Amino acid sequence: MLALALIGMLAVASAAVPAAPPAAHRESIEGFAKDAWSTSAGLPHNAVHAITQTGDGYLWFATWEGVARYNGVGFTTFSRMSTPALPDSAIATIAADRFGNLWTGDTRGNLGRRDPAGRWRFWGRAQGMPRAAINRMAVDDTGRVWVGFDRLGIGRLDPDGRFTVLRGPAGKPITVLRIAIDAEGRPWLGTLDGAYRADPDGRLRAMSAELGLPPGQAMPFRDKAGRIWLTAGSSLYRVEGGRAVLVFRQPDGKRFSDFLHATNGDLWLGTENDGLLRVKGTRVDHFSTRNGLPEGRITALFEDREHSIWVGANGGLFRLRKALFANLRAEDGLSGNYVRALAETRDGSLWVGSSKGLDVVPPSGVPRPVSLGPAANRVSVMSLSAGPDDLLTIGTFGDGVLQARGGRVVRRITQAQGLPANHVRAFAQARGGGVWAGTQRGVALIDPAGHVRLPRTHDLPAEIVYALSETPEGLWVGTVSGAWLWNHSGVHRIDIMGAGQANSVFGFFHDPETGDTWISTDRGLFRHRRDGQLDHIGIERGMPVDGLFQMTVGRGGSAWIGSNKGIVHVCFKALRLAADGRLPRIGPDLFTALDGLASAQSNGASGPTTLQRRDGTIWIATAEGVAFVDPRRLAHFRFMSPPAVAIESVEADGQPMTAGPEGAYVLPAGTHRLTIAYAGLSYLLPQGIRYRTQMDGFDTGWVDRESQRTAEFTTLPPGTYAFRVQAAQARGAWGPDKTITVRLEPFLWQRSWFQLACAALVILALWCLHRWRTLAMARRERQLARLVDARTAELRQQSHVLEEVAQEREQLLDRLRGQADALEQLANEDPLTGVANRRRFNDMLSHVATVSAQDGRHWSLAIVDIDHFKQVNDRHSHVVGDLALCAVAEVLRHAAPADHLVARLGGEEFALLMPDTDAVQAARIGERIRTAVQQRDYRGIAPDLAITISIGVATCAMRGVDAATIFQAADAALYRAKAWGRNRVVAD
């Protein structure tokens, strides 16, 4: 009872501060990221009546506009508009059995079942169902379905299909609002008149009075251990030993509408109009619309297999899921979400500076604003620093520096007190006491008495300061344009521009183990060793982003760094190795909204923006509040189990297909496009799930689909294939295959039996054709034999005549051949000399030029002219001239090689075409011919007749020179022979 009283007092405390959750945020690190859905996000209706999860991993939601299936990314609605159509869209209740079936009940009394293969079956009035609205249902371990009706009690559908109605005592009409099956398989009923139980004899037994419950409404619930819990008004009971033991009572009298006993022991209670309660040990947490909860009555509570809590309400769907990061935001009590600075004092209080002021989060976890004086409504906090005596120094956007103790401002320091500027973005505790302040116009020291002391050097930058840190090396100053180190030897500018093209500095981290200083910049990290060496680690070395804000190193040896694109987590030892040059690339994580961050944008250029608290948790200032993480939980979320994969749909040319009796999807012949949709059924980080697929018999290996949830195939030949898909979490291993069989039917002409039949028919046709031809030939042979016999005599008689005709034909052919030869000779020979004529010469010239050009061989041409031939005609006669031409032609024919062509071009001009003859050979042949012509005896023609000739020779020694060019060259050479005195050979 003492524990109950304590819980009650905590509940009173909860009700007293509804604006902020009383849970300690330090413990809420194990807590939740929040998500909400409504019709704008795909829900068919905002009112969610019931939630369940089937064996394949899908989540289902009952609404007034159908039952919605959720795969982590989107909703698929089954209603009267879907195929097949449900009898009614107003689904009041749903349940899942251990066989993987989904059961639905609607307001018209129809019961539906969807099996794991996606087939629906319905029971209505035609199947014996009463005409009454179904309010609730439950399925026991034997497969019996218990159905709660409006004013008709409860019914039972047995596995054999029989339906039985169990009515209330003395026929009293009972409206069943809730059903829970206890460990013994007995249904407990929740009604407006109390709790009932269906006993094995089929009678309904009133239980409220027997259990000691107050009169009125009582609703039963079953936990995972099979125990029955009851809500009655604003009280929660657990049934033990035949009595109802009070576990929790809401002191304000607000009624409970639903209950869930979570796997971790948390008790979740939905209310009629006051949101959601979580009872965790002796602590009570309250979730309301301020936390994102939908408005209206809580109608359904459900814990899925990944232990997320789903909340159905009249105003929509809400989920509390486990995530690596949790967030402290305005909805949790902060003054503003744009957080710029964090600090922790010795009492464990967290101080949060934002654009809307300063908040303190004490160990109780309830944020409250801190008044900063008359300017509280306009003070924008830029920086914080907690001193060893818990003096909190506060830097502002334009109000200078404030110092507070215990949440009360004790000192204000502005330009009037000597501060260089009232815009202060950075602090560093001074080793000699006091605090260094980084302003818009440089650095100043505020001593313990609050006096401002300016540095006695003009070498420090007088510009906006983003980061400060005092280490044993000296004072580090980071500004918009670089980094400086001020120590006993002077002011030293650190060349981060030369080392890595960096400009702005956002933070410093002192490594106490090595004495090195790490510098966060707009171009990655730099390590400044004590010996002055500067090492750079940027995106080229594996850093996921350029701009990095303040870094801290947790107890586990991991570095945590804010950025504009998420929170970078990397092993600090790996950073050291990379800076030493012993590790080519680091392997960081980049945590984003998928990991629970309300915003991936961390804040920088102020600070501290990254803080390790005394309990080891890491807190980071972001654009949407403070994100925090317990590094001990990192391994669980980094290596999550791979999700189960479900095949959502198979479409052939856009038409949905269903699996056949053997589980195979049979596609019609001629299917051009096969589309398979699948989903990894994990709801923690569904956007980060990766997929890969393989179509056995088509793909040669796994095809990486990244986050794509469909696979398309457009060139599948007919055959049977196994489609396999695997899923993995963003940083996890691949899970087991989900495999389906796809059979693409062939056309008739593509089937084996048809092809064999066609081959057999062809063979039969060929045999028939052969047989027919054989018979026809035999018949024809007999006919021919008779015809031959009949005509043999006639042929013998005609043979003599034919022989004579043949002889005459041969004689005629001989004459024709002679005439043809004569015609050919006339066409190609000079009629006077008997050598080739101009036509024959032109044909052979073209042929020789073409063939020689193809083969790359030399050829030559000689043009021969009889010297003073006109005098022969004039002195002797034309008859003598003709005889002289014939004599010269005869000399040419005999003196030239056999394969050379001698031709008369006209008048006294001849040509000698010499294939395969180079220039030397051609000149030698020309000289031999000239000598032969000169030495011949012409006295038989005329007593004093002497004849000489002039010869021009040209040779084609390269490709690309045509016949006309060679002819012109030979003609030019002939001209020179005549010009030089005749009776000579001149080569071109």
Those residues with Cβ within 8 angstroms of residue 476's Cβ, 6 or more apart along the chain or in another chain? 428, 467, 468, 469, 470, 483, 484, 485, 508, 517, 519
Beta bridge partners of 756: none
Where would I find the beta strands (DSSP E) of 376-523?
381-386, 392-396, 401-405, 408-413, 424-429, 435-439, 442-446, 452-453, 465-471, 474-479, 482-487, 490-494, 505-510, 517-521
State pLDDT tens for residues 130-157: 999 999 999 999 999 999 999 988 999 9
- Mean per-residue pLDDT for 262-273? 93
Angle between helices 963-979 and 838-855 (to 10 degrees): 120
Please tell me the distance from the alpha carbon of residue 859 to that of residue 856, in angstroms, as a whole number.
10
Contact call for residues 587 and 565 (beta carbons, < 8 A)? no
State pLDDT tens for residues 592-602: 987 889 999 99
Q: What does the DSSP assignment read for 833-868?
A: T-SB-HHHHHHHHHHHHHHHHHHT--EEEEEEEETT
The count of other CB atoms within 10 Å of the CB of residue 244 is: 24
Going by pLDDT thresholds of 50, 70 and 90, the confidence category of residue 720 is: very high
The count of other CB atoms within 10 Å of the CB of residue 695 is: 19
Contact call for residues 566 and 523 (beta carbons, < 8 A)? no
- Mean per-residue pLDDT for 380-405? 94
Q: Which of 782-796, 933-947, 948-962 has the lowest mean pLDDT?
A: 782-796
Query: Is 14 a residue whose pLDDT tops 50?
Result: no
Where would I find the beta strands (DSSP E) of 495-600?
505-510, 517-521, 524-528, 534-537, 551-553, 558-563, 566-571, 589-591
Report the pLDDT value the prediction gives residue 377, as an integer from 0 to 100: 58
Please tell me the distance from the alpha carbon of residue 522 to that of residue 739, in angstroms, as a whole number.
48
Q: Top-level CATH class of 330-638?
A: mainly beta
Strand order through the sheet with 50-53: 50-53, 59-63, 66-70, 75-78
Strand order through the sheet with 610-612: 326-328, 625-629, 618-622, 610-612
Candidates 895, 891, 879, 898; CA nearest to 941 is 879
Report the pLDDT value the prediction gives residue 23, as an integer from 0 to 100: 37
Those residues with Cβ within 8 angstroms of residue 455's Cβ, 6 or more apart along the chain or in another chain? 442, 443, 444, 445, 486
Contact call for residues 698 and 713 (beta carbons, < 8 A)? yes
- What proportion of the chain, given as a percentage, has pLDDT over 70? 94
Task: With 0.75 as the threshold, say if the pTM is over it.
Answer: no
Going by pLDDT thresholds of 50, 70 and 90, the confidence category of residue 20 is: very low
Please tell me the distance from the alpha carbon of residue 701 to that of residue 697, in angstroms, as a whole number.
10
Query: Is 960 a residue whose pLDDT tops 80?
Result: no
Specify the CATH architecture of the domain 838-987: 2-Layer Sandwich (3.30)
State pLDDT tens for residues 443-467: 999 999 999 999 988 899 999 999 9
Q: Are domains 645-747 and 838-987 of this chain identical in fold?
A: no
State pLDDT tens for residues 188-235: 999 999 999 998 887 889 999 999 999 999 999 999 889 999 999 899
Among 3.20.20.80, 3.30.470.10, 2.60.40.10, 3.30.565.10, what is the CATH number of 645-747? Answer: 2.60.40.10
Quick one: tokens of 605? 């250029």
Those residues with Cβ within 8 angstroms of residue 510's Cβ, 6 or more apart along the chain or in another chain? 469, 471, 516, 517, 518
Report the pLDDT value the prediction gives residue 821, as an integer from 0 to 100: 64
Distances (CA, A) of 159 to 94, 132, 146, 611: 18, 22, 11, 60
Going by pLDDT thresholds of 50, 70 and 90, the confidence category of residue 813 is: confident
Strand order through the sheet with 276-280: 256-261, 267-271, 276-280, 283-287
Residue boundaries of the structural domains of the chain:
1-30+267-322, 330-638, 645-747, 751-828, 838-987
Alpha-helical runs (H) found in 356-429: none
Query: What's the whole-number average pLDDT of the chain?
Result: 89
Query: Is 632 a residue whose pLDDT tops 70?
Result: yes
Where would I find the beta strands (DSSP E) of 262-308?
267-271, 276-280, 283-287, 298-303
Instruction: Please report, as a single letter, which amino acid is at residue 329.
Output: R
Candidates 669, 668, 670, 673; CA nearest to 651 is 673
Report the pLDDT value the prediction gives residue 12, as an integer from 0 to 100: 32
State pLDDT tens for residues 75-131: 999 999 998 899 999 999 999 999 999 999 999 999 999 999 899 999 999 888 999
Alpha carbons within 13 A on the beta-carbon side of 230: 30
Report the pLDDT value the prediction gives residue 526, as an integer from 0 to 100: 98
Question: How many Å separate Cα 778 from the centre of its chain?
Answer: 75
Going by pLDDT thresholds of 50, 70 and 90, the confidence category of residue 853 is: confident
Question: How many Å separate Cα 67 from the centre of its chain?
Answer: 31
